[in-house]
Chains A and B, each alone.
Chain A
Amino acid sequence: MAERFNEVVLPHLGDALALARWLTGNAADAEDVVQDACIKAHAGIAGYAGGNSRAWLLTIVRNTSYTWMSRNRPRSIMAVGDLGDLDDMAAAHGTSLPDEDGPEASLIAKADTAALEAAIAALPQPFRETLVLRDINGLSYREISAMLGVAMGTVMSRLARARNLLMSELGSAP
């Protein structure tokens, strides 16, 4: 059992910390969350039936992050608003590209780390988590769709919207 835990969980601690860091907003909280998540993973290791162990662990990390935040930061959860707002907000961005000229690719490529991190942190939570799961944790659309319990099309549109928001943010910054 201990070996299985080491095989399944330990290789993905970096990914787990990265996800928790982006969901909670800071690295110190991420360690607490990942530690809690690993305790749950250990208790539930028998339920891991093979397959992508990273996706399995990250699902636990995500759930633990939201439990942790609802306990420690109830206000930040409220700030997300409901999904109706989200779609309105996103629609405004969805139509602005690419007909209107987006920023040059070279401008995005030159964006500095701090600006990019701030832009990601400022994303509405459903967009942020989709972007992080895809571009930082490297999960496939199908895995993200299973983890979030949303359709593939929703994953795709959230990802596109997240990236559009980042691109216009980075493109407008001097």
Chain B
Amino acid sequence: MSDDGLPNDAKGIKLMIHALIDGELDAAAALALERRIAADPALAAEHARIVALRAAVTRLPRPDVSDAFRARIAALGATATAQPAQDEPERDELVEPRPGIPSARQDQPRGDQLRGTTRRDAQTRPSQTRALPRARRFGSFDWRAMAASIMISAVLASGATQWVMFNSASDGFAAAVASGHRRSLLAASPIDIVSSDRHTVKPWLDARIGVSPPAPDLAQDGFALIGGRVEVISGRPVPALVYRHREHLITLVAEPQQGGSTTAPEDLSSGGFSMVHWSDGAFSYWAISDMERPELDDFVARFRKAAV
């Protein structure tokens, strides 16, 4: 019997080993459990078995998302928005062209909705936008006719923020900031240090990476500082502050500059995220959020004013 806070029954300790491997234990419990495992060959064997099994399951081939399938789902978003369902949102109602609308007119709302390439494509193929027979299981809208253009919309609009940003002039840094922000939205918590108090956030960042950017609390302006985290970008740790505006999170990455110049805010938005970059000589800032651009501009203006 040991006094390390862990369960002492075999079943309880086994559950803890699973939790350890799943990354669900806090540091103290993990440390105590690792000591137990090191001291007990039976636990060590169990640990090794679970690790091996997890690795094997993770290696299993995953189903391919075929281009056709992805296009079909992307079309769902585009088409259904163009033609809002009248009744309950069931399968056919959402994707069927509504009866009674002359086929020539069906192109217009779709083209508008899908913008650019899609519009051109849809208009050059009026004959194909006529509904196919109703027999197909998934309704009869003409996704084939639009598949090519929809694929383009889908690729640009979906997980392709990185792709777009890698190809823009602002290099991989913006892409890394964007992926960091996206990852933080998926993580259990978007912040490592939770605090609305900049006197807590700044020392925390300073203690970890020796850098501490201005962290004004803009709560009175509607942008509350909720904490910070450390991002690793281009192999270097950089501080990131997290602000909340209504239900939106804003990640503000501040890259230290040495003798840097001052630059005005520059718009790098793409792929559904708004992103603004500027420098004040001491730091180069990247603000990213899923808010609308004008709201992010408002944040940037208030931050710059407060950070002086």
Task: Kindly provide the distance from the CB of A59 to the nearest chain B CB, expressed in whole angstroms.
Answer: 15
Q: Which of B176-210 contact A (CB under 8 A)?
A: 185-186, 188
Q: Which residue of B lies closest to A131 (CB)?
A: B57
Provide the residues of chain B in CB contact with A3, threshold 8 Å. 157, 272
**Do A17 and B65 contact each other (CB < 8 Å), given the known contacts A43-B89, A135-B57?**
yes
Provide the residues of chain A in CB contact with B45, threshold 8 Å. 98, 101-102, 104-105
CA distance A116 to B48 in the complex (A): 17
Q: Which of B72, B73, B157 has the most CB of A within 10 A?
A: B73
CA distance A98 to B59 in the complex (A): 25
CA distance A108 to B91 in the complex (A): 43
The answer to whether the Cβ of A69 comes within 8 Å of any Cβ in the partner chain is: no
Task: Kindly provide the distance from the CB of B297 to the nearest chain A CB, expressed in whole angstroms.
Answer: 19
The answer to whether the Cβ of A142 comes within 8 Å of any Cβ in the partner chain is: yes
Provide the residues of chain B in CB contact with A140, threshold 8 Å. 22, 24, 188
CA distance A105 to B50 in the complex (A): 8
One of B18, B22, B52 near A109 (C-beta < 8 A) = B52
CA distance A10 to B12 in the complex (A): 39
The answer to whether the Cβ of A147 comes within 8 Å of any Cβ in the partner chain is: no
One of A6, A32, A52 near B74 (C-beta < 8 A) = A6
CA distance A98 to B51 in the complex (A): 15
Q: B62–A142 contact, CB under 8 A?
A: no
CA distance A1 to B94 in the complex (A): 15
For B246-269 the 0/1 string (1 means CB < 8 A from A) is 011100000000000000000000
Provide the residues of chain A in CB contact with B50, threshold 8 Å. 163, 167
The answer to whether the Cβ of B14 comes within 8 Å of any Cβ in the partner chain is: yes
Task: Kindly provide the distance from the CB of B192 to the nearest chain A CB, expressed in whole angstroms.
Answer: 16
Provide the residues of chain A in CB contact with B137, threshold 8 Å. 32
Q: A2–B77 contact, CB under 8 A?
A: yes
CA distance A168 to B11 in the complex (A): 17
The answer to whether the Cβ of A120 comes within 8 Å of any Cβ in the partner chain is: yes
One of B14, B43, B80 near A160 (C-beta < 8 A) = B14
The answer to whether the Cβ of A141 comes within 8 Å of any Cβ in the partner chain is: yes
Q: Which residue of B lies closest to A32 (CB)?
A: B137
Q: Which of A1-53 contact B (CB under 8 A)?
A: 1-7, 9-11, 13-14, 17-18, 21, 27, 30-32, 34-36, 38-40, 42-43, 49-53
Provide the residues of chain B in CB contact with A163, threshold 8 Å. 18, 50, 53-54
Task: Kindly provide the distance from the CB of A137 to the nearest chain B CB, expressed in whole angstroms.
Answer: 10
Q: A167–B18 contact, CB under 8 A?
A: no
Q: A30–B63 contact, CB under 8 A?
A: yes
Task: Kindly provide the distance from the CB of A19 to the nearest chain B CB, expressed in whole angstroms.
Answer: 10
The answer to whether the Cβ of B46 comes within 8 Å of any Cβ in the partner chain is: yes
Q: B70–A13 contact, CB under 8 A?
A: yes
Q: B63–A39 contact, CB under 8 A?
A: no
Task: Kindly provide the distance from the CB of A121 to the nearest chain B CB, expressed in whole angstroms.
Answer: 11
For A93-109 the 0/1 string (1 means CB < 8 A from B) is 01101110111111011
One of B58, B85, B186, B247 near A135 (C-beta < 8 A) = B58
Q: Which of B26-72 contact A (CB under 8 A)?
A: 42-43, 45-46, 48-63, 65, 69-70, 72
The 4 closest A-B CB pairs, nearest first, are A43-B89, A5-B77, A105-B48, A10-B158
Q: 22 A-B pairs, CB-CB below 8 angstroms?
A: A2-B113, A3-B272, A5-B76, A10-B73, A11-B159, A35-B69, A35-B76, A39-B91, A40-B89, A42-B94, A43-B89, A43-B94, A53-B185, A97-B14, A105-B45, A105-B49, A108-B52, A135-B58, A136-B62, A159-B22, A163-B18, A170-B53
- Other A-B contacts than A27-B63, A98-B42, 20 sampled, CB-CB below 8 A, are A6-B154, A7-B157, A10-B154, A10-B157, A30-B63, A31-B69, A34-B73, A35-B69, A40-B89, A42-B77, A50-B247, A50-B248, A97-B14, A98-B45, A102-B45, A105-B52, A108-B53, A131-B57, A140-B188, A156-B19
A-to-B contact residues, CB < 8 Å:
1-7, 9-11, 13-14, 17-18, 21, 27, 30-32, 34-36, 38-40, 42-43, 49-54, 94-95, 97-99, 101-106, 108-109, 111, 113, 116-117, 120, 131, 134-136, 140-142, 156-157, 159-160, 163, 166-167, 170
